[in-house]
Structure 1
Amino acid sequence: MLSDANFIEVFLNMPMELCEARDAKGLYKLARTGKIKGFTGIDDPYEPPVNCEIEIQQTDGICPPASAMAGQVVSYLEDKGFLQYQ
């Protein structure tokens, strides 16, 4: 629905173990027991993005704090002129 110029893809490139450890709703556990079907990365294939604008990764095996990840996105948006301050 958006033009390519207005769509920014952010890829949180984190290991599956981290995603499962932070899963407050227990969705991964339900998917692993078969109670949820078609769960990406469990019984449905996961395809990482090919050309994302922003990729956020762990550094030395440590997930950055949320504020740092948000800062990376905000910096990108500022650099590309999406955020205008008055």
Structure 2
Amino acid sequence: MIALVIPIAMTLFAIAALLNLYRLAAGPDIVDRILALDTLMINSIALIVLADIRTGLDVLFELALLIALMGFVGTVAMSKYLLRGDVIE
């Protein structure tokens, strides 16, 4: 059962990532682009975790954690820049 579900989930997350790339390129304003980038990070984390479950290795979970950390810091920095015009006070 899990051998059938994981490829389907990976395909759906890959389609979602492609749609996020479209929104990132054609977003009407910068806020939509920031949200698309944040959602793209979440989809890439999901793809990495699913690939790790499929292969059975435990190495890719650390990569997913690093991407999650960098995505969070990047989203906070971009949002702070939009609100205040400066990242570091």
Q: TM-score, normalised by structure 1?
A: 0.29
Which protein has greater RCO, CA pairs closer than 8 Å, 6+ apart?
Answer: 1
Q: Which has the higher strand share?
A: 1
When you count helix as a share of all residues, which structure comes out higher?
Answer: 2
